[in-house]
Amino acid sequence: MQLRSPSGIAAPRIEDLIARRDLSAVFQPIIDFEDGAILGYEGLIRGPAGTSLETPFALFSQALVEGCTIELEQAAARACIDAFARLGHDGKLFLNFSAGALRRLAAVPDDTLALLRHRGVDPQRIVIELTEQSMIADVGSFLPVIASLRTAGAQFALDDYGTANASMNLWVRLQPDVVKIDRFFIHDIACDPLKFEAVRAMQHFASASGARLVAEGIENEADLIVVRDMGIGCGQGFFFGRPHAQPPSKVTDDARDALRAGHIAVFPEATRTLGGASPSGGMASEKMLVHAPALPRQATNNDVLELFNRLPDLHAVAVVEHDEPVALINRRSFMDRYALPYHRELFGKRPCLLFANASPVVIEKSMTVEQMAKLLASDDQRYLADGFVITENGKYAGLGTGENLVRAVTEVRIEAARYANPLTFLPGNIPISSHIVRLVGNHAGFYACYVDLNHFKPFNDQYGYWQGDEVLKFAAAVLADVCDPTRDFLGHVGGDDFLILFQSDDWRERVLRAIHVFNEGAQRFYAPTDRLAGGIHGEDRRGNPTFFGFVTMAIGCVRVEPEPTGGASLYNSEEIATVAALAKRRAKLEPSGFVLIDAEESVALLRGQSEAAATPAD
């Protein structure tokens, strides 16, 4: 088969292109984030311009048909080295090779040296990338191939890591000098928590293995800032430059400004709940699991009695068949029966299923916390008295009690709320504190803005918690809308308290817009008569009859100045939150609902908090 051009003329054969040296090279820069310089260039091949073989995909598809893919790879490498030598640019040259092409090179060491030294390019400036399409059946036999490349002076890289055949197995066995993260994981990483977590895992392993990471596919500033702040040192993508025959020798001004951006990225992990909207119940299951022996289906009532006498704290016993629960025997009801006259003599040798609950409540260990909570609210409350059976993949794992279920669900929900508010799904106290630590640790200046709702409690009392929750969700939506998700961190402290950590230059306009939009929109949650009256009648905290106006938003802000580099952090997250809360209390007294504690007073208040924390109590 032979490709044809749009005019219908058969495209030239790959062998002819190689013979005529009708292949050209383009280069895409790879940037070192630390100094903003170009670390090197990835060499890419192109066919004759304007033909059906211009793209790399078309070239290698036709080469596969003709059976000359390795020859095309070698010709592409020579073309890239030729063009790179003519450019005269500094930095390394990254070349793509399949496993088959690398094996052939290693089989003829002289050819390898000749290729790497082609046109006088120092082999130490060459980085050989193993392409993701490469399937290596026997990784062990490939190790000498890598060793021969390194002996010749070149470095070795895994390309497009995370896709196709670029696996953890290859990383461990081949120990690459460089690992290039596939663009799939980098594109939109600023707003995708799963991609963020995947790349962070790669980063941890890179630190352990000593490999240098390159983030591929960076196309916008937001993704660049996240990758930069994660600690990944290098990147490439359209944001720095598209592949070109005459690539730049220096980073563009826009890219340099983005690399030097003073704001700290808002990591997407902070926008997730613990385990998602329906967190796993694994933690809850572990808390309430009682490891207890079970009895086989053929056991007798005497066997049950013997087990209860031997284990006086056992509240129940499960009956299993092939490790799967079929019934549950509650201790109290069983022992009450055995206390009756002649019960043991009449029923002791009878099957234990005679007095067992044949349809016990069964909880799978992986059940979500929300599913467990629904069980608590269900009409079937047998588990409160009988207890229940816990299984793992359908097999008996242990027992649980109603009391332990209530306690475990409550504890897990409280713990989850520290990471994300269950109503608004905004980050909770732990992510808030973590982001403050990151800001302070990176010497970033920011505005900590504490948000509170005036007259919310009387509204909640009058209209009920359901309507109150709707107001809180509306407040969260308004605040989220005024924040730049790449610069501004929004958290939900609890109740009607929120905290925003602003890095946007126009933060003041955003704050005032939030107050205006919320104050206008909150009135729709009132009944028509209350809207006409301008509020509701209720009682103050002392029980006195009082008229309360509409729920409004108050925001108190405090400027946190960048701390000097080279020393320990002067302030911690609790001190900053405390001073922001003071600003909020002042804002609640202002008709505008807004107060800013300026930089000078902020420093004094923060230092006062630090000194108070350092002074031992009397």
Mind listing the pLDDT tens digit for each residue in 341-381? 888 888 889 999 988 988 888 888 877 666 776 666 665 55
pLDDT band at residue 618 using 50, 70 and 90 as cut-offs: very low
DSSP per-residue string spanning 541-561: TTS-EEEEE--EEEEEEEEEP
How confident is the model over 320-339, as pLDDT tens digits?
999 999 999 999 889 888 88
pLDDT of residue 86: 92
**CATH number of the domain at 421-614, out of 3.30.70.270, 3.40.640.10, 1.10.1280.10, 3.40.50.300?**
3.30.70.270
How confident is the model over 253-278, as pLDDT tens digits?
989 999 988 889 999 864 443 333 34
pLDDT of residue 274: 32
**Higher local confidence (pLDDT), 60 or 110:** 60
Q: Give dist(CA 386, CA 317) in Å, integer.
A: 10
3-state secondary structure of 422: coil
Class of domain 14-261: alpha beta
User: Quick one: average pLDDT of 82-106?
Assistant: 90
Tell me: pLDDT of 493 over 90.
Answer: yes
pLDDT of residue 125: 92
- E-only strand ranges, 146-193: 155-161, 178-181
Q: Give dist(CA 601, CA 609) in Å, integer.
A: 12
**Side chain identity at residue 113, one-letter code:** L
Class of domain 282-413: alpha beta
Among all chains, which residue has been given the structure tokens 């005269």? Answer: 88
pLDDT of residue 344: 83
Q: Give dist(CA 407, CA 387) in Å, integer.
A: 14
How confident is the model over 165-217, as pLDDT tens digits?
556 778 888 899 999 999 999 999 998 988 998 999 999 999 999 999 999 99
Tell me: pLDDT of 68 over 70.
Answer: yes
Is the entire prediction scored with pTM above 0.75?
A: no
pLDDT of residue 214: 97
Q: Which 8-state DSSP code applies to residue 595?
A: E
Asked if residue 42 lies in contact with residue 94, where contact means CB atoms within 8 angstroms, the answer is yes
- Report which of 373, 364, 379 is spatially closest to residue 408, judged by C-alpha positions: 373
- Most confident residue range from 97-101, 239-243, 428-432: 239-243
Longest CA pairwise span in the chain (Å): 106
Q: Give dist(CA 184, CA 199) in Å, integer.
A: 11
pLDDT of residue 275: 34
Pairing of the two strands 535-539 and 126-130: unpaired
pLDDT of residue 279: 45
Helix axes 99-107, 109-116, angle to 10 degrees: 110
Q: Give dist(CA 495, CA 206) in Å, integer.
A: 41
3-state secondary structure of 535: strand
Query: Where in the chain are the domains?
Result: 14-261, 282-413, 421-614
Q: Collect contacts of 411-418 with beta carbons under 8 A, ≥24 apart.
A: 411/284, 411/287, 412/279, 412/281, 412/283, 412/284, 412/287, 412/369, 413/369, 413/373, 415/274, 415/283, 416/273, 416/274, 416/275, 416/279, 416/369, 417/494
How confident is the model over 286-306, as pLDDT tens digits?
777 888 999 999 999 999 999
Kindly report the backbone phi and psi dihedral angles of residue 199, in degrees, each rounded to the nearest multiple of 5, phi listed first.
Answer: -70, -35
